[in-house]
Amino acid sequence: MLNELKYEYCNLHSKILTRNSVICNCKDREKLKVIASWDICNTAALNVYYVGNNEYVIVGVNNIKPIVVSIDSYKDEKDNEYKLGIKFGNSYWFLDECMKVW
């Protein structure tokens, strides 16, 4: 599924998405708009640029090269139940804790 999807924002370089792949570095990358965000600290945020079919998201810290990450179910250690989220770096980021950007 995820390996067969094509990146739709880049008209110059049609790339095939794979897990944790860096998206295209061309000028079309600048057209991506932040639609949601998680706060990391006072100077950094994990930004969500695109959600594809509830299977993957395109995310990046601040505005540094966004990557494709798949959405999976992970166990929340706070309340011992499974929630939808992503694994970015060594941390789990749950979708219900994400802030929508207007």
The C-alpha atoms of residue 43 and residue 75 are separated, in whole angstroms, by 28
The C-alpha atoms of residue 68 and residue 10 are separated, in whole angstroms, by 14
pLDDT for res 13? 44
Q: Considering only CA atoms, which of 24, 86, 28 is closest in space to residue 59?
A: 86
pLDDT for res 49? 87
Task: Provide the residue count of the chain.
Answer: 102
98, 48 contact by CB (below 8 A): yes
The one-letter amino acid code at 63 reads: N
Low-confidence ranges of the chain (pLDDT < 50): 1-14, 16-17
